[in-house]
Amino acid sequence: MLAAAHDRVDESYLEGEIENTYELLTDDDASSGTRAEVKTRLKQRGIDVDEPRESFVSHQSIYTYLTEYRGVSQPEDDTSDATQIEDTRDAIQRLVSRTKAVVRNNLESLHNTDRISLGSFTVFVDVQVFCQDCNIQNSPEELLSNGGCECETD
């Protein structure tokens, strides 16, 4: 719903920004001040904040509807090793993208409210995995592509 609202006003968004905005608007852990800042930022972009929020549906609501009213069940978990590795790679990439978006949005918010001084900036997130047994350090992507580190498997 948030992506559609951005699209309606020809407002572009960064990867992970929609998910972060949704979480800030709906998460009980988000402060009322943060929620107000998000709403203000959306209004400045010409996005009606209340319209998308009224359309939000929880994952649990959809799951209940599909299982109880449509008789749908989850498929058996017959995923291959390659599929699980690819799913892990995708999950890590989504977390990295989301982390970048969260950092960027928070810094922009502080800058826009004159709480910090900040010029044009880029956010870098670098995730590394260090195996203490074989002393090898790789990115998760390299680790998954290589099938692990240099430790021998039993």
- How far apart, in Å, are the Cα atoms of 144 and each of 13, 95, 100? 29, 16, 22
6-31 as b/e: b if 16+ CB within 10 A: beeeeeeeeebbbbbbbebbeeeeee
pLDDT in tens, 62-112: 888 888 888 888 776 666 888 899 999 999 998 998 899 899 989 999 999
- How far apart, in Å, are the Cα atoms of 11 and each of 8, 56, 85, 118, 144? 8, 20, 34, 23, 36
Residue 129 pairs with which residues in a beta bridge?
A: 138
Domain extents for the chain?
2-123
pLDDT value at position 54? Answer: 62
pLDDT in tens, 131-150: 999 999 999 999 999 999 98
pLDDT value at position 53? Answer: 60
Distance of alpha carbon 103 from alpha carbon 116, whole angstroms: 14
- One-letter amino acid of 124: F
Distance of alpha carbon 32 from alpha carbon 22, whole angstroms: 14
pLDDT: which is higher, 121 or 29: 121
Secondary structure (DSSP) of 31-49: -HHHHHHHHHHHHHTT--S
pLDDT value at position 154? Answer: 46
Average pLDDT, rounded, for the chain: 85
Token pair recorded at residue 43: 């209004």
pLDDT value at position 103? Answer: 92
pLDDT value at position 96? Answer: 92
pLDDT value at position 77? Answer: 61
